[in-house]
Amino acid sequence: MEEERDILAFTERLKDRFGKVPKEGKELIRVVRLRRMAKILGMEKIILKKGQMSIFLVTNPESPYYESEAFDKLLGFIQKHPRECTLREQNGKRSIVVKNVPTVEAACGYLEEIGKEAVVQR
């Protein structure tokens, strides 16, 4: 499911076939949405664990990603939320940890906000 309309159509097919989608099913569908959004924003991997969201960035420091609008939006988000975000680099892997992310729905909300951030001026 590459686009939001694909996710919505899949959800509708589930409802038609099985009735109301349970809470756990909705959460799984949100995971698909979260992964799709992360991919659009150029994130290699995203992990939700213990109320935190870890966003893993492109490993290659020479990647054009670090000069992209998506990366600028991510930096804008970090600047806007300095107490919730920690930028890390371990073993050559760059990541951002965002605190206070209790659900997949909350994580989707943060990624939506990142996608809407004003571009940081260089």
Burial letters 43-69, b for 16+ CB under 10 A, else e: beebebeeebbbbbbbeeeeeebbeee
**Considering the entire predicted model, what is its pTM?**
0.79
pLDDT string in tens for the chain (122-residue length):
777 788 788 888 888 888 888 888 888 888 888 998 999 899 999 999 999 999 999 988 899 999 999 999 999 999 999 999 999 999 889 999 999 999 999 999 999 999 987 554 43
Distances, alpha carbon 60 to alpha carbons 1, 26, 47, 77, 93, in Å: 27, 35, 20, 22, 9
Q: Quick one: pLDDT at residue 7?
A: 79
Domains and CATH numbers, the chain: 4-116 (3.90.1150.50)
Please give the Cα distance from 90 to 119 (Å, whole number). Answer: 27
Q: Quick one: pLDDT at residue 121?
A: 42
Q: Quick one: pLDDT at residue 99?
A: 97
Task: Look at residues 42, 40, 121, 117 and name the one whose alpha carbon lies nearest to residue 80.
Answer: 117
Q: Quick one: pLDDT at residue 118?
A: 55
Please give the Cα distance from 82 to 51 (Å, whole number). Answer: 17
Q: Quick one: pLDDT at residue 26?
A: 83
